[in-house]
Amino acid sequence: MSTLQTNHQLPSQRPKSASNIATRQWLTHWKSGTKLEKQVSIPTNSGPRVKVRIDPTNLKHEIVGFGGAITEAVALALSTLSAQKRKEVLSSYFHPSEGIGYTMCRTHINSCNFSRGNYCYVQPNDASLTNFSISPDQKSIIPLFQEINQIHGAPVRTIASPWSPPAWMKTNRKMCGGGSMERKYYGLWATYIRRYVQEYQKCGIPIWWLTPQNEPLSAAPWETCHYTHAECREFILALRKALEEANLNDIKILAWDHNKGYLPNHMDVVSTDLAAYDAIWGIAYHWYREDDTAAEVDTEPLRYIHSAYKEKPLVMSECCNSLWECKEEGSGVNGGPARNTPGT
């Protein structure tokens, strides 16, 4: 991952000479072990060596920001550092001038495959949510968010995604290994997610975006919940309704949140219901695709989405190692170091 930062200026303030543009670059790469190493400044007056072409007539969509994942595993690992060293690490990512200026995060609702074990925020069969409590997150995740926000100078923009509902809401009665949400619990599960948003708000952590489900077609051995495209569409409506009932209209819903290859089929189904289509702000996707190789990465699904659904921003909500790198290393589909990095 290479991060490039430039000094953004209004059109009237931009210098006419490219030699006046300041650039900074850092490099992180898991194979080489390079971690946020500052690179030699990119020259802007070196003639043909570096050419950047900007075509203002070919507009895409606005870049909202870049960021990384805040999971229980991340929070626990950072908690083992001294306060000074932890601040140094977090500043390198989130400080607007002393670091690379991350502005976004992605986190999990209930436990995920980067947690120490299964957990949720209610007791079994608590359909009234009487005992709802985010106490599992208050041990490590919430303090980490609060420290990040202090370093950043403002709350980072956060995507929250569920990996699985509580086991008793699912057909297999387990949080892990697939299973589907029982339809009778759609409304309750949407209310549960709304409570999560409200409790995080009380801790000074606003949630900007929600996805209905992380990887809805997955049946992995960790926390998962299977939805068809039509079921996702149905739950989007339930989630939007629950948010509106609490005047949380500013919370944005991102559709999909799974691999890019399935994205066209998903959006072609969601868009058949105008209310569901209007309920989503944008589309989240994961960078993985089985057919990708080191020589060729298939971007056609994203090109299709950008053309057919241009008004819906695309958010890359997860990008661990590419599948071909994992196969080369013999570490499985999602092997290698965990880097769960959102960006749009």
Q: What is the DSSP string of 221-264?
A: SSB--B--HHHHHHHHHHHHHHHHHTT-TTSEEEEEEEEGGGHH
* Amino acid letter for position 119: Y
DSSP 39: P
219 and 178 Cβ atoms separated by less than 8 Å: yes
Helix (H, G, I), strand (E, B) or coil at 201: helix
Record the tokens describing residue 123, joined without a space. 């007791």
- Residues 6+ positions from 273 with CB-CB distance below 8 Å: 233, 237
DSSP 54: -
Record the tokens describing residue 64, joined without a space. 């909202």
Which pTM value belongs to this model?
A: 0.82
Helix (H, G, I), strand (E, B) or coil at 317: strand
pLDDT by position in tens, the chain (length 344) = 333 333 333 333 344 444 555 566 778 776 777 877 777 766 555 555 667 778 888 776 778 899 999 999 999 999 999 999 999 999 999 999 999 999 999 999 999 999 999 999 999 999 999 999 999 999 999 999 999 999 999 999 999 999 999 999 999 999 999 999 999 999 999 999 999 999 999 999 999 999 999 999 999 999 999 999 999 999 999 999 999 999 999 999 999 999 999 999 999 999 999 999 999 999 999 988 777 666 667 788 999 998 999 999 999 999 876 554 545 544 443 333 333 444 44
